[in-house]
Structure 1
Amino acid sequence: MNMLDPLFSLTGKIALVTGGGRGIGAMIARGLVGRGVRTYITGRDPGQIDAFAQELAGPGGECIGLAAELSDQSGPGKLAEQLAEREERLHILVNNAGANAAGSLAAMTVEDWDLVMNVNVRAAFFLTQQLLPQLRAAANDDDPARVINVGSIGGLHIPNWEAHAYNTSKAAIHHLTRSLCKALGRDRVTVNAIAPGPFPSGLTDTSSDAVKNSIATHVPLGRPGTAEDAEGAVVFLASRAGAYVNGTTIPLDGGYIAAL
């Protein structure tokens, strides 16, 4: 890995990746740790998240696991307190933790709807709010602090299957990205989002025949996303190279949305 180009260097920065123990969050966290970022990752299971943090750290890397239940009303505040006990500054906040509720319009329950909205939207907003002192402390004119929200192409179009709560929550996180961009720009904090298409995760089995057929039919590049694709997008947004990008949602989908 070439660490010499200052445009893309992240060495010495501090990051928090929610839901960093699996899926796209783990891909992002692994990439940040490998680029010299002291990276905090969160998960509901303390043992699992600590073990994965130790795995990511390896020789020369820094990764710390923090237990967090972001579906709870008090979850973002408790997580912010944990981080504040350890760090005065936070350069990169990745709001990645997500929940899903499958089922038809008729089968959706209030509890399922609220779980998805609470994790995917409410937690991202209030965690950003609670960590503003650390984000502001890390920011300067040339190198703002970064908030990177993980949305979905499901928030950019209506797919052929029913995922009402999930897709609505991701459309909301894209809009929240623009709203926070306007509110925080003067504080030298940028807010952007990525909208992944098919990536291997707990929500998407890219090895299944159905997903393979969908990718072959709808994704111009003809393949699912990889860890390097997720890492590359976040490194761009978090580094000096992306310092003037603000309030945008980047489809990370191999051309899926463009080809609709």
Structure 2
Amino acid sequence: MSNLDISNLFSVKDMVFVITGGGSGIGAMFAKALATNHASKVYILGRRLPALEATASTFPNTIIPIQCDITSKPSLSAAAARIAQASGFVNCVVANSGATGPVLSGLPKDRAPSLQEVQTYLWDTPMEDFTQAFEVNTTACFYTLVAFLGLLGKGNESGVARERGVKSQFVVTTSIGAFSRRPGMGFAYAASKMAVSFLGLWLAFLLTRLVISGSDWRLDIRANSFCPGVYPSDMSKGMMGENDITKEGSVSPDTVPLTRAGTEEDAGGALLFMCSRAGAYINGNVLISDGGRMSIVPATY
């Protein structure tokens, strides 16, 4: 039964991908996993060209760096036009870029802060900083989808999609911070990630069948979310420091039951499942990869 062979079931060979925030952290893990497994092209987008180029240097013929500001519609349009000219279609877009926004680390750690201290600290945070987390984590995610919608549609017409029976897909990288009842890194981060998590669920219906003003279109584009816990990234350095906590036993089981942070195998394996024939029936799913943390903290998911 060759259809159940692992080389067919989890193959992303000859598929075309776009990953925002692909220069570091989980985005870079995703890109390397796809390139290792013979994706045709993996376009990584981000503002920091040196970081993108460093990731692309590991697979120079497959991972293609494109400097792009996802909060800018002209920048997104330019990136989509370049990819359209080079590849003609996209099988999957991963909206992975993220911003932390205002954090709570400025409050006292050696004692419980007073109510006045909390109010002052939160009030002194500019509204623009709070809104910026939503701009990157939610608004830009939506416009990333819109920029590549036509290419995702053409992905469904590609030979590799028809051969494997895998519909085009939009993947959102969200966070367990969206579901935890503790603010974690901050209120703006958690709220914006909750917003984009809901957006991913809503898009699962919208992109399958779009009904506007009485007109009915079948788009046949899937939408799913990858929801990570603690993974090594620029964003998590404030909590993790410079220590390698990916080894089993390096994290307290009271923090993560599996006693470690996530690795590139964990992130890459999850995306390979979601994008290959193995995950082709997945739509509207939130794949939580957190070592069990959400099972031991107050959370709703």
SS of residue matched to 1:122:
helix
Q: Closer, same or farther in 2 for the Cα pair 1:52/1:187, shift >3 Å?
A: same
Letter in 2 for 1:117: F
Structure 1 residues 209-254: Cα deviation after superposition (integer angstroms, max 9, x where no partner): 8x89875312111111001000011000000110111011111101
CA distance in 1, matches of 2:152, 2:168: 6
2:133 maps to amino acid:
V
Query: 1:135-192: per-residue Cα shift (whole Å, max 9, x none)?
Result: 0111157210111110000001133545111111110111000111101123221100
1:217 partnered with 2:250? no
In the TM superposition, what is the alpha-carbon distance from 1:112 to its structure 2 partner? 1.1
Q: Which structure: larger Rg?
A: 2
> Is 1:106 equivalent to 2:123 in the alignment?
yes
Supply the distance in 1 between the matched residues of 2:131 and 2:21 (Cα, whole angstroms).
18
Q: Which residue of the other structure, out of 154, 157, 161, is the alignment partner of 1:137? A: 154
Aligned length: 254
Deviations 1:73-128 (A, max 9, x none): 54433332332232211001110011112334323322212221111111111111
Whole-Å Cα distance in 2 between the matches of residues 181 and 215 of structure 1? 36
**TM norm structure 1:** 0.89
Question: In the alignment, what sits opposite 1:156?
Answer: 179
2:189 to 162, 166, 172: 166
| Greater mean deviation of Cα atoms: 11-20 or 250-259 | 250-259
2:90 matched residue in structure 1: 90
Aligned counterpart in structure 2 of residue 235 of structure 1, from 268, 272, 277: 272
Q: Could you tell me how far 1:4 is from its partner in structure 2?
A: 5.4
Does the CA-based 8 Å contact 2:153-2:221 persist in structure 1? yes
Asked if 1:258 corresponds to 2:260, the answer is: no
1:41 corresponds to 2:44: yes
Q: Is the 8 A contact 2:227 2:286 kept in 1?
A: yes
Paired position in structure 1 for 2:219: 187
Residue aligning to 2:24: 22
Residue type of the alignment partner of 1:247: G
> Residue in 1 aligned with 2:229?
197
Matched residues in 2 for 1:81 and 1:238: separation? 23
Unaligned runs of 5+ in 2: 105-121, 209-217
* Deviations 1:27-60, CA, capped at 9 Å, x for gaps: 111101111111011121334423431x2215xx
Structure 2 length as normaliser, TM-score? Answer: 0.78
Partner of 2:133: 116
* Unaligned 5+ runs, structure 1: none
